[in-house]
Amino acid sequence: MSQPSDRAQGAPGFGAPLPHWAAGHSEETRWAPFTAVVIAAALQLALPERLSLGPGWLLPSAEGGLALGLLIANPFRKGRDGRLIRRVSLLLVALVSVANGASAALLIRGLLQGRIAGGATALLANGGAVYITNVIAFALWYWEVDRGGPIARAAGGRLHPDFLFPQMTAPHLAKERWRPTFLDYLYVSFTNATAFSPTDTMPLSRGAKMLMLVQSVIALVTVALVVARAVNIFQ
């Protein structure tokens, strides 16, 4: 006799209700991620041309245009037009990541080759812009990846999470009908970039683990080289 699947065990049809965080819910507003993308694009525009991939205005402008288009076309993450909206959303996150990854690589190469000119203040400002954009980019990835993304989470279509938040294991400490939103993923991204490892939220899927690994490497290398160079300049 075959055993029921993991999806089915403890799921509807077997007498056990879904966890409060896995049940379907109303759509999630796009304003928080839109604001984050605007901040990331502004930070990329503020970088000097030598730390940009192509013309300094090109990718930030594309990011801002896509983010505004998504906000106008679909201000809430709904099932309506979900496939197209998700593809455009992933393209937007990819653009932010590529632009910032290129800036990080150019900054690191310049530091290693001694080609970064200017004082410690400018160096710390450029390194800080790359660091903050790294936090935003991976917050967007976590938000888009966990349980298939915001639309899938709103529909309650997937049970197994990619990230295990404390409220999932201790629901009595969470507000009624709590579920993660973009700000929760932004917090996860910030703590991972700061501690270079997970803190209170654990990655469960291999994809989530690899994303956190890549983010930690970028943050660690950027911070180590920028701080070391800045200290050298101050001395």
Task: Provide the pLDDT for residue 62.
Answer: 94
Task: Provide the pLDDT for residue 26.
Answer: 60
The mean pLDDT of the chain is 84
Is 2 a residue whose pLDDT tops 90? no
Q: Which of 6-15, 41-50, 67-76, 144-153 has the lowest mean pLDDT?
A: 6-15
Which tops the pLDDT comparison, 160 or 22?
160
Backbone angles phi, psi at 145, to 5 degrees: -90, -40
- Show the beta-strand stretches assigned E in 52-199: 76-77, 163-164
The string of pLDDT tens digits covering residues 72-109 is: 877 665 545 567 888 899 999 999 999 999 999 999 98
Is 8 a residue whose pLDDT tops 80? no
What are the structural domain ranges in the chain? 28-234
- For residue 44, the one-letter residue type is Q
Question: DSSP labels for 21-42?
Answer: TTS--PPEESHHHHHHHHHHHH
Is 64 a residue whose pLDDT tops 60? yes
The shares of helix, strand and coil residues in the chain, as percent rounded to the nearest 5, are 65, 5, 30
Task: Provide the pLDDT for residue 14.
Answer: 46
Is 10 a residue whose pLDDT tops 60? no
Q: In a 3-state reduction of DSSP, which class is residue 197?
A: coil
Task: Provide the pLDDT for residue 150.
Answer: 84
Is 69 a residue whose pLDDT tops 50? yes
- What does the pLDDT average to over 177-194? 93
The string of pLDDT tens digits covering residues 193-220 is: 999 888 899 999 999 999 999 999 999 9
pLDDT classification of 6: cutoffs 50, 70, 90: very low
The string of pLDDT tens digits covering residues 115-160 is: 776 678 888 899 999 999 999 999 999 999 999 888 888 777 677 8
The structure tokens 């501690």 sit at: 195
CA dihedral 163, 167, 169, 170 (to 10 degrees): 170
